[in-house]
A and B are shown apart, each in its own frame.
Chain A
């Protein structure tokens, strides 16, 4: 592409968002353009800032639990798991095996729900309208299981510090199995629609490339990192909640472009089904609540616990001052860190690629702005 056109155009500054549908929320990206070519970007975030970390300092440990669901509201269960694990680490307790297995099932189910919403909206951004209906149809089944289990579909508040509050309902295992059986062929169906679709491939291949070194440099995690060829998943690297018991693969790809990230997430959904099946088959009996007192008061200290959320490494750095309220809760949001690499990924590309790249980063603004 020539650097200047025959019209000798000047640079154009274009505001994308905060009300642009393909920025997946209230993200504002200021694009500096030369014609269609992106010269640079600047992200303006914070429109959804609610001060979650400040709220945490003014709530008790148990009271803060529902708030974490409202950060990455697409994957509320994962948020809750990370928070509960962090406090459990501070208290030095562990959830009983049954609670851990149920946590794994629900977290993986949530991973599927999150990836389905990502797939549907990402395809919608690219111009494929059909997948979003299919994706939401299957996501609905997952949400129904959440609703039956804990009484809410989106902001679930499913886990409690030390284990679970709710015992599984009658027919839970059967429903999870039915979901698994139903869901696997559907992934193939989505792939039939998209994987070899010429428009899809044309829009995604070689767009927004981020190689492995750049990923590490920018601290990018999750499917984006794995699409660049780094076989790293916290569930394998530093297993939590009994993930070491399950047999699953970490899908990776080589190119690190938007298409590879799509492929990695599709494969991740299959692996999630695999984990869920194993967890349901080996669901142990027993208590669901660990030895945690009514008043949670960890000893003076600090801990950083992170989990593999659908979007990447979700970490909680909690400082306790031996009172009933956390002294400081820092959330390490995967979307926030991943979004930082946006500039690197779209620079030199076309405006339309920005949409594809934002879609593929799978950001949730509730988590970025907190």
Chain B
């Protein structure tokens, strides 16, 4: 007689490992297709950012009639979690798991929060705006649920991005890290551009039902892409699990203090803060500036954003190439910031008689500088991190970067509004408030340069060329396993 039980169990055992989300063995060589798959998590991050900052920003104010100040407050909530990236990164570094996993549990948790936030967000927004019977609902209900939704999405995005980048860094060899950083940045940009177009098309004729569909669709896409990204990426390892059990635990504060005290670390963080702040506000102000000061139409200003993104893409490409050949990140970051300064100068001059061509050139230059700068500083962060502190290093990078970008965007709006609201503004041209913000950005970029210059000088003086990163041809050749470790 046929033994069904044994047959089923044997089948189950033989297929089970294929359907588990963990890799069976850690390989030295990670193919590009696997890295591409991993970088899908950046697409969901970009999608979440666009949905919050771009799409919902408009929908809440225009279609749902929520007061603008309340919208700004809600959208600022996810920023509160940015400093917690350090803690998330540290926890993923020191995670104790019987399966030997460090990063995947946190990416999964972050995905859950991101999904949960999106799942309740449309209903929270509808209740907040008093849709249907919700007019009678108590006010705290809409407020607290909307705040919860934004907090969940923010926490999820921060967790997924920090730990996802740490996992990507774990997977590749040191000389390939610039390529991975470039790939991650490009995917973030792709996610933002594509989802902005898709959301815009889907919400062109707004109905409450459509809002629910779009946001919950984003939730489903988030889970799908993130699951696809982390599937079989991190190896299950009993040896590592045993090591995790016996490794002494360093308290968070001690680890942070030791991390920040490394030579050049504070300098690098200051540069990241200043530079990100300097480049950050350009994205939000370029479109209204083109429209109000230069008289561009809406379709033309949308193309501006594409131009900025194109410049940034070129920047990522150049940075990946140069750094992959063993270039100095600090020097490239300096070049990026130096390109950004004349870029902003061109944007300012365009409204003072420079004309549209100067504006376009300035926009491309700013995008290029931002791409070079972003790539170089992230690569510098990864390169300077010890292998057991990658999570903490990337968490610190993310905390500094996200906080200063958020403050930059917020401050740009505030400064513009303050100058517009100045009492005596009878004859003030439309470009003055924008140019004031652009001028501030130039100052911050100059400060970043001032901090970077001594760093580059020191590197050049004490620079010992590393033979294996500079001489080795690109990927494709079998690598020496002794070097890979």
The judgment on whether A and B are partners is no
Chain A residues in the interface with B (C-beta under 8 A): none
B residues within 8 Å of A by Cβ?
none
